[in-house]
């Protein structure tokens, strides 16, 4: 059942579509596979799911409605399928998970084998599935919560927060914030909490996620870079050159969609890779390291090594959906590690490079990595190709003295297992 529901979500259900899941196991599996404010989990009312779907599709002709129901649920009020056929609503689709049994109540046989559901109405799909009971827990939401958030989802139009390049994935959303840079203090003053009651769909990298969280609604995050921001309960914004933290809710849903990643420019993929490795390594060098942070950081580096096997330098082997998903997963793990330890020396040095010299964040880290990593080399796992990494940041136009002095003002720079001082940094970076 889990695999069938995964398939339905991957191939049939758009990000803004509404989903009604029938009582019992179908609802629990839908929750397990893809929870969203857009899902309504029917609780206890067997046979009611398609009726609810018809009502919704009639009243919200602009939204696509999917009913995911067990065969027993549909058989219980088969007449509703006849009504569906008569109304012929183009925005309604019924997906029947047919195991010829009512597994939720003990596996009693149904007579679904005597019915051809697909011939009864248009837009009916039947998925023949095994009778086994999937191991999924109960839905940890109160009935009132399920109702309230679904009510919000159907009544308030979502806000899309995205980059220029990811706008196209949600052409129907009208309320759009295009993010061009990380949020500033002025943005926070003007917009913080302004979308408190809406659903926010965030598609993009760290700046997109931070912007979405500051807006204040229920954020559904579709990260396209390895932003640690996807799981954290704060957002980064800038007050001039000063990095500040804004306390907010972590995104409600977090999902990696390979399709959104395929358009990423090579440069973004490259910088994401450097940023991820930097996050993992800094967390391993950190004085604040815990067993948990070490576990995340090591797992992140293991995923990185899976996708950088072929190249002599630190580089992703091929831009396949599988590799890109692994990169984002690694970024997420490294982000979790850094959430425990916080960043230190490389990020401290990267900030003035980005602020004053406009070197992109990941690029600055790519330049720093082969310089700083050897200083800690005995204490961290080796990252293949790091020593051969050669990122050009137009060194001649950068005053390294200034960069070091600014970096030393960053309080967390000293949180590492080896001492940091100006002399040592000058020796490494000059
Ligand atoms: Fe970073």
Indicate where the chain has its CATH 3.40.50.970 domain(s).
Answer: 2-153
Which CATH number applies to 157-259? 3.40.50.1970
pLDDT bin (cut points 50, 70, 90) of residue 226 is low
- pLDDT score recorded for residue 2: 87
The half-sphere exposure of 200 on its side-chain side, counting CA atoms within 13 A, is: 28
Mean pLDDT over 35-44 rounds to: 91
How many Å lie between the centroid of ligand 1 and the Cα of residue 270? 13
Q: Which CATH architecture has domain 2-153?
A: 3-Layer(aba) Sandwich (3.40)
Q: Which CATH architecture has domain 266-429?
A: Up-down Bundle (1.20)
C-alpha to C-alpha distances, 25 to 66, 72, 76, 77, nearest whole angstrom:
17, 11, 16, 18
The share of the chain scoring above pLDDT 90, in percent, equals 55
Report the Cα–Cα distance between both ends of the chain, in Å, rounded.
59
- pLDDT score recorded for residue 74: 96
What pTM, to 2 d.p., does this model score?
0.63
How many Å lie between the centroid of ligand 1 and the Cα of residue 374? 19
- pLDDT score recorded for residue 380: 56
Indicate where the chain has its CATH 3.40.50.1970 domain(s).
Answer: 157-259
How many Å lie between the centroid of ligand 1 and the Cα of residue 318? 23
Q: Is the pLDDT of residue 261 over 60?
A: yes
Mean pLDDT over 20-27 rounds to: 93
Indicate where the chain has its CATH 1.20.1090.10 domain(s).
Answer: 266-429
- pLDDT score recorded for residue 313: 87
**Mean residue pLDDT across the chain:** 90
Which residues are CB-contacts of 274 (< 8 A; sequence separation ≥ 6)? Answer: 314, 362, 363, 365, 366, 369, 389, 391
For residue range 344-400, list pLDDT tens digits in order. Answer: 999 999 999 998 998 999 999 999 999 999 888 755 567 888 888 889 998 889 999
Higher pLDDT, 249 or 384: 249
pLDDT bin (cut points 50, 70, 90) of residue 164 is confident
- pLDDT score recorded for residue 421: 92
How many Å lie between the centroid of ligand 1 and the Cα of residue 243? 12
Q: Is the pLDDT of residue 225 over 80?
A: no
How many Å lie between the centroid of ligand 1 and the Cα of residue 209? 13
How many Å lie between the centroid of ligand 1 and the Cα of residue 64? 38
- pLDDT score recorded for residue 344: 93
- pLDDT score recorded for residue 257: 83
Mean pLDDT over 10-20 rounds to: 88
Which residues are CB-contacts of 399 (< 8 A; sequence separation ≥ 6)? Answer: none
How many Å lie between the centroid of ligand 1 and the Cα of residue 359? 13
How many Å lie between the centroid of ligand 1 and the Cα of residue 195? 27
How many Å lie between the centroid of ligand 1 and the Cα of residue 264? 18
357: which 2 tokens? Answer: 């010299």
Which secondary structure element, helix H or strand E, spans residue 72, and what is its range? helix 71-76
What phi, psi does 222 have (nearest 5°)? -120, 85
Q: Is the pLDDT of residue 152 over 60?
A: yes
Nearest of 225, 191, 231, 189 to residue 208 by alpha carbon: 225
- pLDDT score recorded for residue 240: 83
How many Å lie between the centroid of ligand 1 and the Cα of residue 341? 13
How many Å lie between the centroid of ligand 1 and the Cα of residue 278? 7
Which residues are CB-contacts of 281 (< 8 A; sequence separation ≥ 6)? Answer: 297, 301, 346, 369, 373, 376, 380, 383
């Amino acid at each position: 059942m889990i695999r069938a529901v995964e398939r339905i979500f991957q191939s049939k259900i758009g990000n803004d579509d509404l989903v009604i899941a029938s009582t019992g196991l179908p609802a629990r599996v839908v929750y397990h596979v893809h929870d969203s404010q857009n899902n309504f989990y029917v609780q206890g009312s067997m046979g009611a799911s398609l009726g609810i779907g018809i009502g919704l599709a009639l009243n919200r002709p602009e939204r696509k409605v999917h009913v995911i129901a067990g065969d027993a649920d549909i058989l219980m009020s088969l007449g509703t399928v006849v009504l569906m056929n008569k109304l012929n609503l183009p925005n309604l689709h019924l997906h029947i998970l047919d195991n010829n049994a009512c597994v939720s109540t003990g596996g009693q046989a149904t007579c679904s084998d005597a019915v051809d559901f697909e011939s009864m109405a248009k837009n009916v799909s039947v998925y023949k599935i095994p009778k086994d009971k999937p191991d999924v827990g109960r839905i940890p939401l109160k009935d009132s919560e399920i109702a309230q958030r679904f009510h919000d989802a159907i009544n308030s139009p979502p806000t899309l927060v995205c980059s220029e390049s990811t706008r196209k994935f949600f052409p129907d959303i009208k309320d759009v914030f295009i993010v061009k840079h990380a949020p500033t203090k002025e943005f926070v003053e003007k917009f913080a909490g302004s979308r408190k009651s809406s659903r926010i769909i965030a598609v993009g990298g760290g700046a997109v996620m931070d912007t979405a969280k500051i807006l204040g609604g229920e954020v559904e995050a579709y990260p396209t870079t390895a932003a640690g921001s996807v799981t954290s309960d704060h957002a980064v914004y800038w007050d001039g050159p000063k990095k500040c933290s804004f306390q907010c809710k972590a995104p409600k849903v977090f999902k990696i969609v390979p399709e959104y990643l395929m358009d990423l420019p090579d440069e973004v993929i490259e910088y994401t890779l450097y940023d991820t490795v930097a996050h993992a390594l800094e967390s391993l060098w950190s004085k604040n390291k815990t067993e948990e942070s070490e576990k995340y950081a090591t797992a992140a580096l293991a995923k990185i090594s899976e996708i950088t096997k072929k190249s002599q330098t630190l580089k992703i082997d091929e831009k396949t959906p599988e590799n890109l998903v692994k990169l984002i997963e690694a970024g997420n793990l490294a982000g979790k590690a850094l959430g425990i330890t916080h960043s230190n020396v490389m990020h401290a040095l990267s900030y003035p490079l980005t602020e004053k010299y406009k070197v992109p964040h990941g690029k600055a880290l790519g330049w720093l990595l082969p310089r700083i990593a050897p200083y800690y080399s005995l204490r961290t796992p080796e990252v293949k190709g790091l020593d051969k990494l050669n990122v050009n940041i137009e060194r001649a136009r950068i005053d390294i003295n200034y960069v070091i002095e600014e970096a030393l003002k960053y309080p967390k720079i000293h949180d590492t297992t080896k001492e940091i001082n100006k002399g040592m940094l000058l020796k490494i970076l000059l």
